[in-house]
């Protein structure tokens, strides 16, 4: 027994369709007969890649002319369902991303249905979907389902599924018109900035080097960046130093923040609060450096170093130079 139809929210950047979208498509194909995609923006640019991942139809709003994606896409989907131009799917899957959360939130109000967030697994239980969400730092897995008749709205954590191309012709692009947004549409993007970051993205890097409160001061974060550069790694951070304003929110690994699953995760001066553990416990290998031998981070580390990051990191970076 599978679902009839799932709609996956497609996000894309300069380098094509976002990994989170491809991950959700792979899972959606497992549990539903038909998988379609909806997106805010130009569908044609993504049609070939989406077709390769088994998508037959892309419902695209076209250029949003600076309007916010969340309210535009949610309003377009709700309007299309309401006027009968599309049939409501059994479920919507969206990534736990900046825009994915906005679309899910607005859509839930428009359709008057619940949202389940932070899902890391989805499966069929009879003819319905159930989702799994980790709580308490990933020590417990909570399985939930919807009771309101749907459509279901699931917000899926990145890195939960493996993308899988299946080959297929380019997806057909269908217009998803944005209705008049009225007062809800007042916010407009005036300018876009790209943060130039050297090296790989935090949630896609093979190695992540993260710093925490144990660094002692904002300036010491340069040790993390130095080591990350040497390893071709992405720099990350614990919530404590994001809260303290040392690095931006986009660096944060954890429950509130990004989930990473690199080949190697190096936690430097991070004690390992449950908030942090849920974001990095899925890493294949974990190295932890912390002064406190009782720090909870050591309970998940494959290699734990009880030591001062200010002494270990410079030596480590130096040892790696010329390798």
Partner 1 sequence: MKVVVCVKQIPDPADPGALDPETKTLRRNVKLILDESDSYGVEMALQLVDAAGEGSVHLVSMVPNDEVSGLRTALAMGADSATLISDEALAGSDALGTSRVLAAAIERAEPDLVLAATESSDGYTGVVPAQVAELLGLPSVTFAKEIAVEGSTATVRRQTEAGADLVECPLPAVVSVTAGVVEPRYPSFRGIMQAKNKPVDQLKIADLGIAAERVGWAGAGQEITDVAEAPERAAGEVVVDEGDAHERIVAFLDELKVI
| CA separation for the pair 52, 48 (Å, rounded) | 6
For the segment 219-238, give every residue that binds partner 1 (CB under 8 A).
Answer: 231
Residue pair 79/194 in contact (Cβ under 8 Å)? The answer is no
Reported as half-sphere exposure (CB side, CA atoms, 13 A), residue 171 has a value of 30
DSSP classification of residue 184: G
Q: Which residue's CB is nearer to partner 1, number 169 or number 307?
A: 307
Cα angle 203, 99, 125 (rounded to 5 degrees) comes to 80
Q: In this chain, which of 46, 50, 93, 316 binds partner 1, going by CB under 8 A? A: 316
DSSP class of residue 293 equals T
Q: How far is the CB of 266 from partner 1 (least distance, A)?
A: 8
Contact 282, 159 (CB under 8 A): yes
Q: How many CA atoms lie within 13 A of 25 on its CB side?
A: 27
* Residue 261: other Cβ atoms inside 10 A: 17
User: How many amino acids of this chain bind partner 1 (CB under 8 A)?
Assistant: 102
Question: Which DSSP symbol is given to 255?
Answer: S
- Site map 66..105 versus partner 1, x via CB under 8 A: --x-xx--x---------------------xxx--xx-xx
Task: Pick out residues in 291-310 that bind partner 1 (CB under 8 A).
Answer: 293, 298-308
**x-or-dash string of contact with partner 1, 151-180, rule CB under 8 A:** ----x-------------------------
Minimum CB distance to partner 1 smaller for 166 or for 188: 188
**Residue 171 gets which letter from DSSP?**
P
Note whether 139 binds partner 1 by CB under 8 A.
yes
Classify residue 291 as exposed, middle or buried by CB count within 10 Å of its CB (0-12, 13-18, 19+): middle
40 or 54: CB nearest partner 1: 40
By CB under 8 A, the residues from 36 to 65 that bind partner 1 are none
The mark string for 180-199 relative to partner 1 (x by CB under 8 A, - otherwise) is --xxxxxxxxxxxxxx----
**Does residue 218 bind partner 1 (CB under 8 A)?**
no
Q: Which residues pair with 258 in a beta bridge?
A: 253
Smallest gap from Cβ 51 to partner 1, in A, equals 23
Which of 10, 24, 223, 264 is close enough to bind partner 1 by CB under 8 A?
A: 264
**β-strands 115-119, 207-211: how paired?**
unpaired
Cα 132 to Cα 134: distance, rounded to the nearest angstrom: 7
Taking CB under 8 A as the binding criterion, the range among 24-32, 34-42, 161-169, 285-293 that sits at the site for partner 1 is: 285-293
Task: Return the range that interacts with partner 1 (CB under 8 A); candidates 29-37, 51-59, 165-173, 258-266.
Answer: 258-266
Q: Choose which of 7, 38, 92, 146 interacts with partner 1 (CB under 8 A).
A: 146
CB of 35 to partner 1, least distance (A): 23
Q: Which of 33, 63, 127, 145 binds partner 1 (CB under 8 A)?
A: 145
Crossing angle for the helix pair 221-231 and 309-320, to the nearest 10 degrees: 30
């Amino acid at each position: 027994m599978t679902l009839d139809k799932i709609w996956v929210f497609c996000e894309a950047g300069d380098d094509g369709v976002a990994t989170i979208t491809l991950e959700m498509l792979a899972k959606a194909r497992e549990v539903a007969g038909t998988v379609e995609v909806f997106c805010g923006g130009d569908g044609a640019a993504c049609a070939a890649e989406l077709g390769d991942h088994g998508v037959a139809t892309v419902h695209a709003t076209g250029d949003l002319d600076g309007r916010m994606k969340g309210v535009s896409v949610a309003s377009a989907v709700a309007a299309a369902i309401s006027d009968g131009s599309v049939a409501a799917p059994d479920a919507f899957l969206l990534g736990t991303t900046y825009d994915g959360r906005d679309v899910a939130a607005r859509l839930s109000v428009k359709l008057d249905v619940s949202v389940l967030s932070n899902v890391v697994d989805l499966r069929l239980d009879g003819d319905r979907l159930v989702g799994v969400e980790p709580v308490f730092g990933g020590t417990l897995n909570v399985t939930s389902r919807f009771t309101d008749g749907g459509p279901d709205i699931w917000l899926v954590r990145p890195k939960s599924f493996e993308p899988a191309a299946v080959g297929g012709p380019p997806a057909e692009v269908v217009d998803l018109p944005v209705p008049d947004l009225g007062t809800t549409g007042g916010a407009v993007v005036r300018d876009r900035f790209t943060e130039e970051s050297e090296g790989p993205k935090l949630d896609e890097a093979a190695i992540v080097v993260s710093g925490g409160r144990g660094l002692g001061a904002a300036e010491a974060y340069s040790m993390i960046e130095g080591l990350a550069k040497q390893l071709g790694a992405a720099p990350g951070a614990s919530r404590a130093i994001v809260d303290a304003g040392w690095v931006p929110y986009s660096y944060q690994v954890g429950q509130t923040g990004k989930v990473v699953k690199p080949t190697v995760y190096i936690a430097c001066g991070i004690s390992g609060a449950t908030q942090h553990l849920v974001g990095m416990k899925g890493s294949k290998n974990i190295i932890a450096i912390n002064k406190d031998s009782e720090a909870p981070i050591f309970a998940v580390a494959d290699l734990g170093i009880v030591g001062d990051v200010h002494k270990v990191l410079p030596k480590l970076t130096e040892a790696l130079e010329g390798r």
